[in-house]
Amino acid sequence: MTAEITISKEDYLKAILEADREGHTVIPSLLANWLDVSPPAVTKAVKRLKQDGYIADQSSDGLRLTSKGKQTAYRTALRHYLVERMLSEVFGMEWHQIHAEAERLEHAVSPAFEAKLLEKFGDRSDCPHGNGVLPETSAERRRRGTVALSEAAEHAAYVVASLYERDPRLLEFLHKLGIGPGTEIQDLERNYDDTWTFQTANGPATIGRSAAERIWLRPVVPYQPEF
């Protein structure tokens, strides 16, 4: 029972940290949706986490983690990131499969194993979905020179830089379309029905707004020969 409570606690804290990093106001209904649990379960969990000193008293800005809560949440997010790197770079697991697998394995990583993973992979490079340890806001992504597909210029060429990885159905959908990190996208057009069509190496693809807002692109820089 203790292990189950610990896993649940880590899931809640990581969800709060990641939602806050993405710029959301973290309210119980958002957590219920993210974690696929009932609103009463969220209420009970939040009460317990407050009692344990992980969550500060709720304000108009939503749920906020204490220093203790942030530290625990970050360690869980770090283990998730490291497991994803391991599954991809050591075992060759497909990018669209590793998020769900890492969600399960992140809770089983011991401090000693975490240290070994951190020594091997570090925490500075991107994960196989093109993301860092923690999510970034749209403004932070734009400062890194990327743009959401939904906001990209038509008829320009781009490379997929990163994907929203919390939705496994989205990842499978994009994989079937041949869209993944490093995929080149050309001839991008926005249609009247608020969908986007473009060309990939696998052929033409069409996606709607909900997917287009979760794909981040980097412009293709033309090759400049040295003289």
Cβ atoms of 196 and 207 within 8 Å: the answer is: yes
Q: What is the pTM of this model?
A: 0.90
Average pLDDT of the segment spanning 102-129: 96
Q: Which domains does the chain have, with CATH numbers?
A: 1-127 (1.10.10.10), 138-219 (2.30.30.90)
CA distance 225 to 216: 28
The pLDDT assigned to 61 comes to: 80
CA distance 89 to 33: 31
Instruction: Tally Cβ neighbours within 10 Å of residue 172.
Output: 13
CA distance 91 to 26: 35
* Whether the predicted pLDDT of 90 surpasses 70: yes
* Whether the predicted pLDDT of 4 surpasses 70: no
Cβ atoms of 109 and 83 within 8 Å: the answer is: yes
Cβ atoms of 144 and 59 within 8 Å: the answer is: no
Instruction: Tally Cβ neighbours within 10 Å of residue 74.
Output: 16
Torsion 82-21-221-179 (CA) sign = positive
Average pLDDT of the segment spanning 44-66: 89
